[in-house]
């Protein structure tokens, strides 16, 4: 069972290793588990202490949608379960293939549509955390201010509890904090991709969670001899070392590894108990 905790948004007490639901759908590419396995994974994650699940309405392919799987597996939801979702340039999962000028999810009407779609598909009256995902369009034509103000208004309506931002630059992070209270930042970060080191430290000082997507490499798994060395020393897997390194990096980091395998789920969550030594961390660089 995962035991390390963080107060997401200051009031949502979550286990630091969560679960990312994208792989349950095979979106945007790749294999996916069958429906029974997907439901079993979600239920087992909660049994093991996971209470932070990351999803989106647009995580959907060929009729398989992450939100609907979550609802079928877990509704009525445990009182302490936190479901974080996201909205952005994509409205539907298939929009990924559209040219940038045709991705319209950041307009006021489509942001509301995205929020309402998440509410309906998850079967809730209020969303725990909504991340505004940026970076999918030309940043000079899609500033963060207007869409974040739209989400702030929806928060004031009672449809959203906490706001986060995703796939953002440090400049956008600074801008966002002037507009709305920010509970979390969700960016690409892992042992091999450390560009956000300064941003993580800034978030930690402000009490803001940093949620790294692709924490073990995503579609390009982290491969390094030094990882193999540390994993062999502890008799664990390379992904477990990568997750343990993230947990050791900063207390505000909340990894959300996704998997379509029950065995890998168990391994990922067990990584919270893996304590890396100073020598291990030095070995990993």
Any idea what DSSP says for residue 136? S
Beta bridge partners of 165: 132, 185
Residue 32 near residue 208, CB atoms below 8 Å: no
Of 58, 59, 77, 189, which is the active-site residue? 59
Q: Compute the half-sphere exposure of residue 146: CA atoms within 13 Å on the CB side of its CA.
A: 12
Any idea what DSSP says for residue 75? P
Any idea what DSSP says for residue 78? P
CB atoms within 10 A of CB 154: 21
40: left (phi > 0), else alpha (psi -120 to 50), else beta? Answer: alpha
**Residues near 211 by beta carbon (within 8 Å), at least 6 away in sequence:** 18, 54, 84, 164, 184, 185, 186, 187, 253, 254, 255, 256
Q: Could you tell me which of 254, 247, 271, 168 has the C-alpha nearest to residue 211?
A: 254
Q: Quote the tokens at residue 81.
A: 């379960």
Give SS3 for 74. Answer: helix
- Residue 33: its H or E element: none
Helices (H) then strands (E): counts for the chain: 10, 11
How many angstroms separate the CA atoms of 258 and 27, rounded?
Answer: 12
59 is catalytic: yes
Burial class (CB in 10 A: 0-12, 13-18, 19+), 3: exposed
Annotated active-site positions, please?
59
């Amino acid at each position: 069972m995962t035991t390390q905790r963080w107060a997401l948004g200051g009031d949502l007490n979550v286990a630091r290793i969560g679960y990312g639901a994208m792989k349950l759908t095979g979106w945007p590419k790749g294999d996916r588990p069958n429906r029974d396995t997907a439901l079993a994974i979600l239920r087992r994650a909660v049994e093991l202490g996971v209470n932070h699940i990351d999803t989106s309405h647009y995580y959907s392919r060929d009729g398989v949608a992450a939100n609907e799987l979550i609802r079928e597996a877990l509704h009525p939801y445990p009182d302490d379960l936190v479901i974080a979702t996201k909205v952005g340039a994509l409205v539907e999962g298939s929009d990924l293939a559209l040219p940038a000028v045709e991705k319209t999810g950041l307009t006021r009407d489509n942001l509301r549509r995205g929020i309402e779609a998440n509410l309906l598909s998850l079967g809730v009256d209020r969303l725990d955390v909504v991340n505004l995902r940026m970076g999918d369009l030309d940043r000079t034509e899609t500033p963060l201010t207007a869409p974040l103000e739209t989400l702030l208004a929806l928060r004031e309506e009672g449809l959203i509890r906490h706001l986060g931002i995703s796939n953002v630059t440090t400049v956008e992070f600074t801008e966002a904090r002037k507009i709305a209270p920010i509970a979390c930042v969700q960016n690409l970060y892992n042992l091999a991709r450390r560009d956000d080191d300064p941003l993580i430290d800034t978030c930690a000082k402000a009490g803001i969670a940093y949620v790294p997507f692709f924490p073990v490499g995503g579609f390009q798994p982290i491969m390094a001899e030094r990882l193999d060395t540390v994993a062999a020393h502890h008799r664990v897997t390379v992904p477990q070392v990568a997750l343990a390194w993230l947990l050791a990096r900063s207390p505000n980091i909340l990894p959300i590894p996704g998997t379509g395998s029950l065995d890998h789920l168990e391994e990922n969550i067990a990584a919270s108990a893996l304590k890396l030594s100073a020598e291990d961390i030095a070995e990993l660089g």
